[in-house]
Amino acid sequence: MNNKQDENRSLISDLSERLLNGMLKENPTLVLMLGMCPTLAVTTSAINGLGMGVSTMLVLAMSNLIISLLRKIIPDKIRIPAFIVIIASFVTIVELLMKGYIPSLYSALGLYIPLIVVNCIILGRAESYAYKNPALLSLFDGLGMGMGFTFSLTLIGAIRELLGSGKVFNVYVMPEGFVPVSIFVMAPGAFFVLALLTAIQNKVKEIGERHGKDMSKIQSGCGGNCLACDKSCKVEMIPEEPESNIETEEITETENITETENITETENITETENITETEAIPETGDLSVETEDVKNVKKAVPLAGFLARFKEKFEKRSEGSEKKSEAKPEKNKKKSEDGDKERKKSDSKSENARKEKSEKVREESESLREEPETVEEKDENIEVKEEPANEAVDPSSDTEISEDSGNNGPETETDPEADGKTEEKSPEVYNDQTLTEEPSDPETEQTKETGENTDSFESKDVTETPNASEMSEKTETPVADITDDQDEMEIWDISAYKRAIKREIPSGKRPGKKKKAMEKAQKMLNSALEAGKEDNND
C-alpha cells in the first residue's frame, strides 16, 4: 500500500517536474529561442498569441503522446518522416477544429496554423523526449513545453499590443494621453521586441555566468542554432543526453545528407563558443596590452583548428565507416611515416594521461563552460607541438597556421572521438610541452601537470610570455578568440572553408599539390584575418 502511494507520489512529482521544466527551465521561446517564426508573426495582440500558443500546445501534447505510444513500432530509420506525418495530422485536426469553432481566430492566424508543422519545438521534443520516454511523461512534457510557449507568446503579444495600441486583450489600459506607437503592431515591431528580449537574455546569461551558474542552455538567438530547425533541437539536448549526438549523425547518414552532419557539429562548436565568450572576458586581463598582430594570430589559429578538424572529418568519411579503435592505429601509422617515433610515444602517453585525468575531472565535476575553451586550446597546442619536431619554427605565424591546416588532419583525429570530458585536462600536456619546448620528455611534463590543477591558463601564459612569446600567443589564442569572435564564427563560413579545403587538399600526398593547397589555405586564412580585424577596435 505504501509502495503504491510512493509510486504515485514520485510519478506526480515527475509529471510536475516536466511541466515546470517546459514552462521555466527550458522555456522554448524565452530560453531556447525556438520556433521564432510564429512567435514574431502572430504576436500582434495578446489574444492571437494565446490562440497560437494553445493550438501549438495541443499539437505538441498530442503528437508527443502518440509518438511515445508508437515509439516501439516506428522503425528507427524512418522516424523523422513518421514524426512529420503524425504532427501534420494533428495540425490538420487543430486547423479544421479552429476553422469550425473559432473562425475569427482562424482568419487572424491564417497561414501560421498549418505552419505549426515546421515549428522546430514540436519535432525537437518528439525526437529528444517523446521517442525515448513513456507516454504519460511525454504527454506532460508536451503540455509543459506548450504552456511555456503559450505563456511567452501571450507575454510578447501583450507587450506589443500595449505599446502599439494601448490595449491588452482588447481592453484599453493606458492613460488618456498615451499615443500608440503603432509600429509595434506592425511587422518591424516584432523584430524590435525580439531584439529587446534577446538583449535581456544576453544580460541575464552574463550575470548568471558571473555568479558561476551554468547558463549553457540559454541560446543567444535563433540564428545561431535554428538553421536546420529539427537538427538544432537535437543538438540542444546534448547536455542532457550525450547519446543524442550520435543519433543525429545516424539520421543524417541514413538520409544521405552528408553535409548536415558536419553542420550540426559546427553548430555545436559555435554554440559552445558562444557560451564561453562572455565568461572569458573578465579573465584575460592582459588582453588590452596585446598588439594587433597577436590578435590576428588569435583570430587565425582557432580557425586552423577548425580546418584541421574538418579535414580530419572528411578523411574519416572517405575511409568509410571506420570505428574509433581502427582510427587510432591509422593515426599512428601516419606518424611513423614521418619517422618520428618519440613523438608518437609521447602522444600515446599523453593520451593515457588524458584518460586518467578525465576521470579525476569528472569527479571534480567541472562546469560545462570550461570544456569548449580547452577543446580549442588542445587543438592549438597540438599544432604548436607539431612544429618543433617537423620543421624549424617559422617566425611568421601566418604560414605556420596554413601548414597546420594542411598537415594536421591526422594528428587531431582523436579529438572529436575523445569523450568531451577527457579533453578537459589534456591541454596542459601540450601546453607544458610547448612552453618548455621539450616534446621528447613527456613524463616529466605529465608529472608536472598532475601536480597542477586545471587552474587558469591565463596566469600560466602571462608568466611565460617573455620567454616564448610566440608560444604563449598561441596558447592564449582560443580564449581571446572566443572573446573576440563572439558571433563571427559563422558556421556557414566554416562549412565553406571546409568545402574549399576538401577541394583543395588532394588525397594523394604529393608535395607539389600539397604546397599549392597550403597556399590556398593560407589565402583563405588571410581573408579570414581581414574579416576579423574589426575586433581590434574593442
37 near another protein, judged by CB under 8 A: yes
Please calculate the CA angle 53-54-57 and round it to the nearest 5 degrees. 85
Nearer to another protein by Cβ, of 23 and 185: the residue is: 185
Nearer to another protein by Cβ, of 178 and 191: the residue is: 191
The size of the interface with another protein (CB under 8 A), counted in residues, is: 70
Q: Is the dihedral of CA 74, 75, 79, 82 positive or negative?
A: negative
CB-based contact 380:474 (threshold 8 Å): yes
Binding span for another protein by CB under 8 A among 227-235, 376-384, 396-404, 427-435:
227-235
Which listed residue (92, 245, 399, 526) binds another protein by CB under 8 A?
Answer: 92
Written as one string, the DSSP assignment of 432-499 is: HHHHHT-TT-HHHHHHHHHHS-S--HHHHHHHHTTTSHHHHHHHHHHHHHHHHHTTT--HHHHHHHHH
- Per the listing, cell 578568440 goes with 481
Nearer to another protein by Cβ, of 198 and 446: the residue is: 198
Nearer to another protein by Cβ, of 95 and 438: the residue is: 95
CB-based contact 90:63 (threshold 8 Å): yes
97 near another protein, judged by CB under 8 A: no
Cα-Cα-Cα-Cα torsion 400, 405, 406, 412, nearest 10 degrees, comes to 120
**Rounded Cα gap, residues 466 and 480, in angstroms:** 18
191 near another protein, judged by CB under 8 A: yes
* Helix or strand holding residue 250 (H, E): helix 243-254
Nearer to another protein by Cβ, of 23 and 505: the residue is: 505
Question: C-alpha 302: how far from its chain's center?
Answer: 16
Binding span for another protein by CB under 8 A among 13-21, 251-259, 294-302, 517-525:
251-259
Binding mask 332-371 for another protein (x = CB under 8 A): ----------------------------------------
Which listed residue (224, 302, 409, 442) binds another protein by CB under 8 A?
Answer: 224
- What residues contact 459, with CB distance under 8 A and at least 6 apart? none
**Rounded Cα gap, residues 437 and 185, in angstroms:** 63
486 near another protein, judged by CB under 8 A: yes
Nearer to another protein by Cβ, of 124 and 420: the residue is: 124
152 near another protein, judged by CB under 8 A: no
255 near another protein, judged by CB under 8 A: yes
164 near another protein, judged by CB under 8 A: no
Tell me the Cα Rg of the chain. 26
78 near another protein, judged by CB under 8 A: no
Closest approach, Cβ 1 to another protein, in A, equals 48
Q: Name residue 171's beta-bridge partners.
A: 168
534 near another protein, judged by CB under 8 A: yes
Which listed residue (196, 250, 359, 452) binds another protein by CB under 8 A?
Answer: 196
Closest approach, Cβ 65 to another protein, in A, equals 18
The cell numbers describing 517, all together, are: 593547397
56 near another protein, judged by CB under 8 A: no
- What residues contact 321, with CB distance under 8 A and at least 6 apart? none
CB-based contact 194:36 (threshold 8 Å): yes
Q: Rule CB under 8 A: which of 109-128 touch another protein? A: 111, 114-115, 117-118, 120, 123
**DSSP structural state of residue 212:** T
183 near another protein, judged by CB under 8 A: yes
Written as one string, the DSSP assignment of 32-68 is: S---HHHHHHHTTSHHHHHHHHHHHHHHHHHHHHHHH
Binding mask 295-334 for another protein (x = CB under 8 A): ----------------------------------------
**DSSP structural state of residue 505:** S
The cell numbers describing 96, all together, are: 479544421
CB atoms within 10 A of CB 202: 15
Which listed residue (97, 200, 389, 393) binds another protein by CB under 8 A?
Answer: 200
60 near another protein, judged by CB under 8 A: no
Which residues here bind another protein, judged by CB under 8 A? 36-38, 40-41, 81, 84-85, 88-89, 91-92, 95-96, 111, 114-115, 117-118, 120, 123, 183, 186-192, 194-196, 198-200, 202-203, 206, 220-230, 255-257, 259-260, 263, 274, 486-488, 490-493, 495-496, 499, 531, 534-535, 537
